[in-house]
Amino acid sequence: QELTLQLKWVTQAQFGGYYVAKDKGFYEEEGLDVTIKAGGPDIAPTQVLAGGGADVIVEWMPAALAAREKGLPLVNIAQPFKSSGMMLTCLKESGITDPKTDFAGKTLGVWFAGNEYPFLSWMHTLGLSTEGGTDGVTVLKQGFNVDPLLQKQAACISTMTYNEYWQVIDAGIAPEDLVTFKYEDQGVATLEDGLYVLESTLEDEAKVADLEKFVRASMKGWKYAEENPEEAAEIVLENDETGAQTIEHQTRMMTEIAKLTAGSNGALDEADYQRTVDILLAGGSDPVISKEPEGAWSHAITDKALAE
C-alpha cells in the first residue's frame, strides 16, 4: 500500500521517527510503501494535503485548526510530540528579563507561513500589540536563519529548543549571553508536529487501515529514535539531499527532540488539545480561531494502532 507523508520542514532529526521507521523497514513490515516528502520554508503542508499531494501531513495544531476554520476539514489522528519546543531567544544585552514588562518597544523575530499563531496568541495574552509602537512589539518576518539576532536586527528571535537555539550557540554566543522564554513555561504552549489527514480519508475504510499501520510503525520509529539518537541522526543524514546537515548538529537535535516526544505514545491527550484550543481562542479581536472546533481530532486510528 502506498502512502505519502508531507513533512513540515526540511529533512532533519525533528522528523527522525519517520525516517527511522522507513529505513529500519517498520513500514515495510506493515506492508506499507511510504514516501516521505520533505517540506521547506514556504511550503504549507495543509495546502499540499488539500491539493491531494499527500495523504498525511506533519503540522502544528494552530495552523491545522486555522485551516479547519477556513473550511479545510483537517483531523488530528496522532500526536507524537507531547510538548512544545518553541521559545523566544533574546540577547541579554537587550535588557529583556520579563516578557510581561520588557517586550514593549522591542523588535521580535517570528516565523510566518502558518507558524505565527502561537506567537500572536502569546502577545495577545500579554496585551501587546504586534503593530509596533512604544507599547507594542515590532514584528519581523524571520527568514531561514538566526542572523537577525547575530546582526542585532532583533532583540529576540523565535527558536526551537532543538534547532535554532543551538545555531545561536554554534555561532559563538555563549548561553550566558542569552535569555530564553519557552512557550511551555509561559503557559502558551500549543501542540506541535501532529499527524493530520482530511476528514474524508477517515471515511474510507481501506485508508483507515493503512493509517493504523502507518501510525503504529511511525511510533515504533519514534521510540527507536528516542533510544538510539546517534543512529537516528545518521539515518536522517542519509536522507538529507542537500548534504548541508552535520552529524553533530543532528545528533544533538535528536537528543532534544527525544525530550519532546518522551511523554507521548502517539495518542492525542485531550487535555493538551483543550489547552491549545483555549490559548488560540483567547485571541481577542483577531483570534486565530473564533469558535471551539468540532471533530478536529480522532482517536479512531490510535485506539486501534496502539491496541496491543
Partner 1 sequence: MRNLLPILTVLLAIVAIWYVAAIGMNSTWARDQAARAETRLSAGDLVIQTLTLERPVLPAPHQVAAGLWEGIAGQKITSKRSLVWHGWITLSATLTGFAIGSLAGILLAVGIVHDRAMDQSVMPWAVASQTVPILAIAPMVIVVFASAGITGLLPKAVIAAWLSFFPVLVGMVKGLRTPDRMQLDLMRSWSASRPQMFWRLRLPSSLPYLFASLKVGIAAALVGTIVGELPAGASAGLGARLLSGSYYGQTVQIWAALFAAAALAAGLVIAVGRIEAVTLRRMGLAR
Partner 2 sequence: MTGALSILAVWLGAWGLNIWLARFGTRATRFLVALIFGLTIVVLWEMIVRIYAIPPVILPPPTQIAASFAANTAILWGDFVQTIVKGALTGWLLGGAAAILTAIAIDRSPFLQRGLLPIGNFVAALPIVGIAPILVMWFGFDWQSKAAVVVVMVFFPILVNMVAGLAATDRMQRDLMATWAAPYGQSLWKLRLPAAMPFLFNGLKITTTLALIGAIVAEFFGSPTKGMGFRISTAVGRLDLPLVWAEILVAAIAGSLFYGIVALIEKKVTFWHPSQRGQRG
Ligand X SMILES: Cc1ncc(C[n+]2csc(CCO)c2C)c(N)n1
| Site residues, partner 2 (CB under 8 A) | 41-42, 44, 46-47, 50-51, 63, 66-67, 70, 72, 112-116, 130, 138-144, 147-148, 151, 153
Decide: is 246 part of the binding site for ligand X (CB under 6 A): no
Q: State the alpha helices, DSSP H only, in 160-308.
A: 164-170, 199-203, 205-227, 229-239, 247-261, 270-281, 300-305
Query: In the chain, helix, strand, coil percent, each to 5?
Result: 45, 15, 40
Residues binding partner 1 (CB under 8 A): 7, 9-11, 37-44, 47-48, 50-54, 143-147, 150-151, 167, 171-174, 177, 240-245, 249
3-state class (DSSP) for residue 193: coil
User: By C-alpha distance, which of 5, 8, 10 is closest to 236?
Assistant: 10
Residue 16's binding partner among partner 1, ligand X, partner 2, none (Cβ under 5 to 8 angstroms by kind) is none
Minimum distance of partner 2 from residue 115's CB (angstroms):
7
Decide: is 111 part of the binding site for ligand X (CB under 6 A): yes
Residue 241's binding partner among partner 1, ligand X, partner 2, none (Cβ under 5 to 8 angstroms by kind) is partner 1
Q: Which residues pair with 55 in a beta bridge?
A: none
- For partner 2, give the closer residue by CB, 113 or 247: 113
Residue 216 and residue 8: Cα distance in Å, rounded? 20
- For ligand X, give the closer residue by CB, 27 or 111: 111
Residue 31's binding partner among ligand X, partner 1, partner 2, none (Cβ under 5 to 8 angstroms by kind) is none
Decide: is 113 part of the binding site for ligand X (CB under 6 A): yes
Strands 2-6 and 86-91: unpaired
Give one word for 133, left, alpha or beta, with left for phi > 0 and alpha for psi -120 to 50: left
Q: Which residues pair with 49 in a beta bridge?
A: none
Residue span 162-201 as binding mask against ligand X, x where in contact by CB under 6 A, dash where not:
-x--------------------------------------
Q: Can you read off the three cell numbers belonging to residue 37?
A: 516528502
User: By C-alpha distance, which of 236, 235, 195 is closest to 212?
Assistant: 195
Minimum distance of partner 1 from residue 207's CB (angstroms):
17
Residue 219's binding partner among ligand X, partner 2, partner 1, none (Cβ under 5 to 8 angstroms by kind) is none
3-state class (DSSP) for residue 267: coil
Binding site for ligand X (CB under 6 A): 8-9, 14, 41, 111, 113, 115, 144, 160, 163
